[in-house]
Chains A and B, each alone.
Chain A
Amino acid sequence: MSSRDDVVVVGAGPAGMAAAARLRSMAIRVTLVDEQPAPGGQIWRNLEANRNTAVGKALGSDYAAGAAAVAALRGSGCSLRFGTQVWQLEDGQSDADWRVFLKTAEGLDMLPASIVLLAGGAQERPNPFPGWTLPGVVSVGAAQILMKSAGQIPAEPVWVAGAGPLPLLYMTQLLALGGKIAGYLDTTPRGNLVAALPHLPRALAAWRDLRKGIGWLKVLRRSAVPIVKDVAEIAASGSDCLETVTYRPRGGAAVTVPARLLLVHEGVVPAIHVTMAMGCRHDWRDDQQCFAPSLDGWGETSRAGLYVAGDGAGIGGAEAARLRGEIAALGIARKLGKLSEAEAGQRAAPFRRALKKALAPRPFLDALYRPRPEIFAPAGHTVVCRCEEVTADQICRAAGKGGPNQLKAFTRAGMGPCQGRQCGYTVSHLLARSLNSSPGEVGFFHIRPPLKPVTLGELATLEVEEATP
């Protein structure tokens, strides 16, 4: 096993697939790992199975566009490991620079690699509100995954609450499949558009993307979907499952409607769990209200040999992810000595130009969809840590003595199976508020392994040499 030049790519979305195919084209040994059963990431989820189906058609051209990337991956000679989760990364021994610890249905495994490229994408921004843990409250992203992977749509007219391009896209896809929408509670703060206008000229470089969004809005209006704008607060109620939704437009009175299914979404944020666990340096991105790993021009983190490409580097969409994947692949090839500095720079130049163009609408979109403040300061009785059922009140009461990790120690927020994926941001925001500071100053939970839950029995099978210090 010659593993010296192996690259392990984690994530088979647009960035991971582009990077893997590009690396293969330079005769670099690549293994691509993804926990899903097939390539595509989230945006192109289940793409191969949806070809030439009603669902595939309804999902639109952006979805279909993934076919080329998937085909390129399949033809690249890349070693593919689906249904495989990465649960830890460690400094390698003499065999390689990295040890990538994997978990599959068959048990645990380990891949040595010189370079690891994380292309795990994004997750939806946690948006806690009263009742968000009730059965019947599902994220818009989840609903879209159901559509893509299972051809499932809401059984009854569905309520949608949130902001951003994804709810608009989903609703048009749902209507195309014959689904019904009870109403759209648009939580985009009314003042955002005005704040976003200065960025519009730059965004016009990607006018096709903007036109798409306008198209979705038109479809909604044509379908007479009731739209309530500038919704400041939402709450879900019910005893064992969702029964009603209460919403309050900013400056208006609360309205309660019966509901059995509520889909929610407040933007996406880079998945930082792995880079945080690896001790990488992160920057607080005030424009996108999230942490993102600090990366050099090739996508390398502050840990040598660990790269990030795609939405995990910063939210940018599928095309930007693809381009970041290309650039990272060239940077990795340069690192491995397959390309000279000059060659790598030359080959990366057109990708960098295209990336700049693909990211052109970001400042406008980030300003337009800047999350409303209520998300970061949920009502006191709101469950903030879903796993340990810790409320905002409990967190605020414990705030004031130390940072997020002290807060975790004292409230148990962040100690459950999700290890802070759903509550980390809210805790940092609440703490920042109590200290009159920013999440960037306050910091985040200390993330520890396992990155995915493994059983004690699986761990017991590991026989690993101790890494010499």
Chain B
Amino acid sequence: MFVRPFKSDARTVSIVIDGETVEASDGEMLAAVLLRTPPFYARKTPVSESPRAPYCLMGVCFDCLATVDGLASVQTCLTPVRDGMTVERQSGRRELSK
């Protein structure tokens, strides 16, 4: 959906999205990474399990929610990436945590 021809100077880190290792820049917005990583959506809605990708990127739409390092329903547009971060795209209604 989006590509990143202008990488920042920040060091490259690795994060894991749904088991797949993805390169990112340290501290960049997680939602930005989701928008350049197929299948691009962040979650499937709790109401109808429809896929939703980040939409507003400024914290007012709540469509960019994903599970980050085990914590569900995190607004990925407000989450800076850290090395080793694990991300799971949410599917439907979230579970009671383990």
Contacts and interface: CB of A to CB of B under 8 A. Distances in A.
A pairs with B: yes
Interface residues of A, number: 50
Contacts of B35: 138, 146, 152
A458 to B, nearest CB: 11
Nearest to B63: A386
Given A151-B5, A152-B32, A152-B35, A141 B57 contact: yes
A142 interface: yes
Interface residues of B, number: 43
Contact of B3 (A35, A133, A155, A241): A155
Contact of B32 (A42, A149, A241): A149
A123 B8 contact: no
B62 A417 contact: yes
B78 interface: yes
B50 interface: yes
Interface in A146-193: 146, 149-155, 177-178
A153 B2 contact: yes
Q: Is the interface of A mostly helix, strand, loop or mixed?
A: loop
B1 to A, nearest CB: 6
B56 interface: yes
Given A137-B55, A416-B62, A55 B6 contact: yes
Contacts, number: 132
Interface string B4-44: 11111110000000000000010111001001100111000
B56 A142 contact: yes
Nearest to B82: A105
A146 to B, nearest CB: 6
B2 A152 contact: yes
B51 to A, nearest CB: 5
Contact of A260 (B1, B4, B45, B56): B1
Interface in A220-265: 240-241, 260-261
B34 to A, nearest CB: 10
A150 B28 contact: yes
A422 B57 CA distance: 13
Interface string A333-346: 00000000000000
Interface in A420-458: 421-422, 452-453, 455
23 contacts: A35-B59, A37-B27, A53-B6, A83-B78, A133-B52, A135-B41, A136-B53, A137-B55, A138-B35, A138-B53, A141-B58, A142-B58, A145-B58, A146-B35, A152-B2, A152-B32, A153-B2, A154-B3, A177-B5, A240-B41, A241-B39, A260-B1, A455-B71
Closest 8 CB pairs of A and B: A151-B6, A135-B53, A142-B57, A150-B32, A417-B62, A152-B2, A145-B57, A389-B47
